[in-house]
Each structure stands twice: as structure tokens, then as C-alpha cells.
Amino acid sequence: MSDQDRIASGIPVDPHAGPAPLVLAPIAIATAWNVQGDPTRAPFSDEVENLFGVRVPTVANTTVRGGTLLALWLGPRSWLLVHAAGAEASSSLMDFEAKRDALNAHGGALFDVSASRVAFTIRGAHAATVLAKNCPLDFHLRAFPVGGCAQSLFGHVNALFYRPEASSFTMMVARSFTRDAWDTLRASAAQYGGDVAPPP
Amino acid sequence: MLLIPCPWCGPRNQIEFTYGGDATVQRPGNDAPEAAWEAFVYMRDNPSGPHDELWLHSAGCRSWFKLRRDTRTHDILGSARMGDELGGESP
Ligand SMILES: [Zn+2]
């Protein structure tokens, strides 16, 4: 980030903050597929495991990881399978149409929503505080444990949160709200300084 | 501001939810007289006290569920998944 960008971003640099007290950056999502179906029906949940190598989580607001694939609980009959960009190509998120047809045959549905969301990483000691400024979720580890996910609002934008580590969050919003979410995030983070990637 | 217990997600802030009206209204049969349909579509009680309601966790898990709320105090008396019964005393 150039000095000009940093000034324009309004993020002050705190010389006492130490290494990366707060990191805000966009993350590329390679693939995101939405799986829908009734998890209490064995043909559906078995076929999901057969196709993707993971059993989708049935406990609300939890995730299951299988290799480079992350399955996030979105609702009692809806999950998001995410494969981050740059991860190994051995991902099971390939051959969409064949998998969609296989899942259809077992009472499920599959949608390719790879282009629908953008993701941001919010990392550092102040990560939860920055999110809490614009989100009503309880980010205490008791209420939002590592590996958990939750959907809520960020400002007035619907957002999906995932917590890979205690002081690290991934936030996903609809692509058309990228600038809105990014500007809100940047303003919330301003008082903490830190590393801010250029706007996506 | 209400703290609403989604039966799937647990207690969440009211701004994540959308109100869906009286949960006790029964849809009339297809051959019911016009007056029954008019009552179904338009007529609602305005109770002072516990009220069974439908709510949608619109910014969360997108699930509809039942909530029993006291219209005088905003006390939340219980919530249940669709298909399950609200516990406690009936209003
Ligand atoms: Zn919910």
C-alpha cells in the first residue's frame, strides 16, 4: 500500500502496535457450492459423503473440514462447501454437473455459487472487536468457538462468519456489497491501525 | 430490542429476524365459504399477554419457527421448530 493509499484509507499507523495487530484483506474463493437436502435421510447424507468426502455438519453453526474442503452449516437443510483459491487441485469440488445430477437422484440439490460471494480475512488481537462494532453476534469464544460459523448482519449487509482460529475470522458477503462491507470494515478498524490490503 | 431464541441458532438479536404474524391461524378447507377465507386472510386477535407468533430468522439460518411472546412485557416465553409444539401454558 502506498502512502497515498494509506492516507486515503484513513488508517493511522500505530508505531507501538507491534507486528500485525490487525490484518484486513480480501481472500479469493475458488469454488463455493451450496448443498441442500434433508440430513436425516440416509440416501442424501451418504451420497454427500460419497461425492465430497465429508458428512455435512448437522449441529447448527458448526463446520466440518475434509482436506482443503470446508463445509459450513447455513441452515437445517443447507450447507456451503468452500474450496479456497490456491489450495491443492485435488479438491472434490470438480465435475459440478455430474455431482449435481447424482445429488438430485438422492433427494438433494446442488448449486454453484462460486461467483456470488466475496470473502475477507480479519486477523489479529482486535479482530473480534472490529467485527462486533457492526454485528450483533456474540464473538466471545464461549458463544462462537473456533471452527464455528454464523450468519448475521454486518452493518446492514447479510454476512457469513467463520472462525478458523481464536483471533482470526473469515467474513463472506454478497459480491454486490463488496465495497459497502469493505468500507465499513476499514472504518471499524481505523483506530487499531495494522495492515490493510487495497480495496478489492 | 429483543433477544430472540432461534430454535436452531440460539439467542440472537432482533434485527436478524422478520415477524411472520399469528402462528395459531388455521387455513380453511378449499371448499370453505368466503367468510372463512376473509377471516383467514384479514381477521386477527389483538391479545394483551402471551401470543404465539411465527418468526423468520431471515439474516441467520433462514428458518421459520414459533415464538411465544408476551405482548405487554415483550417477555419471550418459549420458541419451537415448525412441527414442534411450544411448551408451557397455552395462551
Ligand atoms: Zn436461526
Least confident among A24-33, A57-66, A189-198? A189-198
What mean pLDDT comes out for the span A73-92? 81
Quickly tell me which residue has 502496535 as its cell: A17
- Band of the pLDDT at A89, cuts 50, 70, 90? low
Task: Report yes or no on B90 lying in a domain.
Answer: no
Contact A60 B8 (CB under 8 A): yes
In the structure grid, which three cell numbers stand for residue B85, read together?
409444539
Contact A9, A188 (CB under 8 A): no
Q: Which of B1, B8, B18, B82 has the most A C-beta neighbours within 10 Å, making it the best mutation to test the interface with A?
A: B8
Least confident among A9-13, A43-47, A81-85, A167-171? A9-13
Tell whether A145 lies on the interface with B, counting CB pairs under 8 A.
Answer: no
Task: Report yes or no on B88 lying in a domain.
Answer: no
The pLDDT averaged over each successive group of 10 residues in chain B (91 residues) is 96 97 94 96 95 97 97 96 78 43
Where in the sequence is the domain holding B54, given as residue range(s)?
A: 3-26+37-81
What mean pLDDT comes out for the span A138-164? 97
Report the share of chain A in percent with pLDDT over 90. 72
pTM of the model as a whole:
0.88
Task: Report yes or no on B62 lying in a domain.
Answer: yes
Tell whether A107 lies on the interface with B, counting CB pairs under 8 A.
Answer: no
How far apart (Å, rounded) are the C-alpha atoms in residues A64 and A41? 19
Least Cα distance to A130 among A23, A9, A54 occurs for: A23
What confidence score (pLDDT) does residue B91 get? 43
pLDDT tens digits, residue range B7-32? Answer: 999 999 999 999 999 999 999 999 99
Domains of chain A: 3-26+117-190 (3.30.1360.120), 28-115 (3.30.70.1520)
Task: Report yes or no on B89 lying in a domain.
Answer: no
Contact A158, A151 (CB under 8 A): yes
Domain count within chain B = 1
- Band of the pLDDT at A10, cuts 50, 70, 90? very low
Contact B6, A73 (CB under 8 A): no
Tell whether A69 lies on the interface with B, counting CB pairs under 8 A.
Answer: no
List the CATH number of the domain containing B75.
3.30.2270.10
What confidence score (pLDDT) does residue A1 get? 44
Residue A199, pLDDT > 70, answer no
- Band of the pLDDT at A20, cuts 50, 70, 90? low
- Band of the pLDDT at A117, cuts 50, 70, 90? very high
How far apart (Å, rounded) are the C-alpha atoms in residues A37 and A41? 8
Task: Report yes or no on B41 lying in a domain.
Answer: yes
